[in-house]
Every structure is written in structure tokens, then in C-alpha cells.
């Protein structure tokens, strides 16, 4: 599933090229997770002012309103001067005078939603609960510590919830907790300030590295069950159950937390 780094890498791949393009046509395919919310033809003639990201949403600012695009479980965007004929899994072609932005989404958990503004009811329904962005100045270690003190659930679950800080999905939560030496099952409220500071730094480092590597460390793979996902080639713990810890050689363990598999080193990561 695309996580924050992949969404940011996607944004960077076309934001400059689509900026100030004029919308010539919008063709929607099969229904996605939510409806567009406006007749597609209403967007024709508008300009794409720019592309921002909020959590795992891409925000295409238009001359009137904005398009919120979510990649869901299996979505990907491609911007090209010309696109081949749309296939059965291509569910949006945003045709502009600078190229065509295509959404390919086999599982159709993705979404393309128009909102009149970022403060509108529909946009707030999607974005309103999101925590701070980990990769800009708003991710403050003191505020992070204060927020964690109020949560008694396991730190991994608190990170995944995304309402304190966004973008720390399953892979990155496992990796950041390893880097910070924190057991994923530890109650968030029990973490000391120095440990929280280490976790804060680890989250920034893990996500910054993933974005910088531009997906090169993330290899699209299809598991034996035929499920698509991402595989972190250089992971310290993620996907490495039973293999020796790269730091201390203790076999990496896995456990189920809220139906997601968590990986950790029982020696390097203290409760």
C-alpha cells in the first residue's frame, strides 16, 4: 500500500510539470471509494495551480476548488504527454494541455474527490483528523511528547492511528521504533522524554530517507498470496522475522497488533 514517502515521491514526479496546466477533459472510469462530487465536465477549463500533499492525500489546487486524490491500497498516478488507451484498471484521466494525469487502481480503494476549498465540509471530513506532517516544521518534539502522554495504548498503535503525526505506516513505524530502541508494545504514556526525542528523530530520519531514495528502496512486489505491496529492501526489522538482528544477531520477532504484523528485536528494543 502506498505510504507517505511513495505519495510524496509521486507528487514530486509531476507537480512541476502539471503546474498552471489547463484542464481539457476529465474522464472517470469505474466508481472509486468515493464519488467525485461534481459533474466531471464542470472542471473543464480550470487551471491546476499546484500540487500539495497532506498525509497520504494529494491536493491538486484548481482555479476553483481542489481535487483530493488518494491512492488507496493499490493506486498509482502517471503523468505523461500522451497516455495509451485506458485499460480496465485506469479510473481517471485528467486531460490537460500539458499532459494526462492517469490513476491506475486495480483494487479501487483510491479516490478522486472535488471540494470547493480545503476548509469545506467534504475536505475536512477527509483531512480534518490528520495529525501534523512529520517532514515540515510543524512536527515539534515537545508537542509530540505532550500528545503521547495522553495515550495509554501501545506506541505502535498510536503511531499508526495517524492523528498525532501522519505518515508513519506499518513499515515505517516498525523501523522507527527499532531505530529508537523502543518495544512496539510499550504504552505511549510510559515513554520518557529522552526516548520520545529519540523516536521523534527516528521518524524524521526513516521518512526522509525513504523520500530521498525515491522509491528505489521500495520494490513493488507480489506476495505468494498474490497480494501486491511494498517491500523494504534495506529494512532493519520489517519483514525479517526469524532473521538475525543487524545490530545484535538476536532473531527478529513478529507479533500481531491490531491485525497488522509488527517486527522487533527483543534485545535492542526495550519495553
Residue 119, SS3? Answer: coil
Which candidate, 2, 48, 5, 7, places its Cα nearest to that of 24? 48
Catalytic option among 2, 5, 134, 184? 2
- C-beta of 173: minimal distance to Zn ion in Å? 17
Which is nearer to Zn ion, 168 or 265 (by Cβ)?
Answer: 265
Q: 45: alpha, beta or left, given left = phi > 0 and alpha = psi -120 to 50?
A: left
- Which residue of the chain is nearest Zn ion when measured via CB? 245
Closer of 228 and 250 to Zn ion (Cβ): 250
Q: In the numeric block, which cell numbers belong to residue 166?
A: 501522519
From residue 220 to residue 259, the character string flagging contacts with Zn ion as x (rule: CB under 5 A) and all else as - is: -------------------------x-xx-x---------
Q: Is 260 one of the annotated active-site residues of the chain?
A: yes
Smaller CB distance to Zn ion: residue 139 or 264?
264
Return the number of the residue (30 or 270) whose C-beta is nearest Zn ion: 270
CB of 264 to Zn ion, least distance (A): 9
Q: Determine if 160 is a binding residue for Zn ion (CB under 5 A).
A: no
Among 39, 267, 270, 271, binds Zn ion (CB under 5 A): 267
Examine the residue annotation and report whether 88 is marked as an active-site residue of this protein.
no
Q: How far is the CB of 231 from Zn ion (least distance, A)?
A: 21
The residue among 69, 40, 43, 42 whose CA lies nearest residue 54 is 69
Tell me the β-bridge partners of 200: none
Min dist CB 177 to Zn ion, Å, is 12
For residue 136, which phi and psi values (nearest 5 degrees)?
Answer: -130, 180
Catalytic position from the list 53, 56, 108, 183: 56
Annotated catalytic sites, by residue? 2-3, 56, 260
Site of interaction with Zn ion (CB under 5 A):
245, 247-248, 250, 265, 267-268
Amino acid at each position: 500500500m502506498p505510504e507517505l514517502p511513495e505519495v510524496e515521491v509521486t507528487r514530486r514526479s509531476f507537480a512541476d510539470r502539471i503546474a498552471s496546466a489547463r484542464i481539457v477533459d476529465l474522464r472517470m472510469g469505474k466508481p472509486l471509494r468515493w464519488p467525485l462530487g461534481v459533474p466531471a465536465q464542470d472542471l473543464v477549463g480550470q487551471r491546476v495551480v499546484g500540487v500539495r500533499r497532506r498525509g497520504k492525500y494529494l491536493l491538486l489546487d484548481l482555479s476553483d476548488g481542489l481535487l483530493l486524490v488518494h491512492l488507496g491500497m493499490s493506486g498509482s498516478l502517471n503523468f505523461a504527454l500522451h497516455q495509451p488507451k485506458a485499460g480496465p484498471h485506469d479510473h481517471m484521466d485528467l486531460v490537460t494541455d500539458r499532459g494526462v494525469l492517469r490513476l491506475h487502481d486495480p483494487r479501487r480503494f483510491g479516490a478522486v474527490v472535488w471540494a470547493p476549498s480545503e476548509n469545506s465540509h467534504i475536505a475536512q471530513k477527509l483531512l480534518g483528523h490528520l495529525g501534523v506532517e512529520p517532514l515540515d516544521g510543524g512536527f515539534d518534539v515537545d508537542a509530540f511528547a505532550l500528545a503521547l502522554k495522553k495515550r495509554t495504548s501501545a506506541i505502535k498503535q498510536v503511531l499508526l492511528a495517524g492523528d498525532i503525526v501522519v505518515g508513519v505506516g506499518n513499515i515505517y513505524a516498525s523501523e522507527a521504533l527499532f531505530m529508537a530502541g523502543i518495544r512496539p508494545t510499550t504504552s505511549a504514556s510510559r515513554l520518557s522524554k529522552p526516548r520520545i526525542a529519540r523516536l521523534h528523530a527516528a521518524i524524521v530520519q526513516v521518512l526522509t530517507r525513504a523520500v530521498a531514495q525515491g522509491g528505489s528502496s521500495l520494490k513493488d512486489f507480489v506476495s505468494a498470496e498474490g497480494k501486491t505491496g511494498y517491500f523494504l529492501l534495506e529494512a532493519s526489522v520489517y519483514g525479517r522475522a526469524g532473521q538475525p538482528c543487524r545490530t545484535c544477531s538476536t532473531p527478529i520477532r513478529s507479533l500481531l497488533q491490531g491485525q497488522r504484523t509488527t517486527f522487533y528485536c527483543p534485545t535492542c528494543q526495550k519495553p
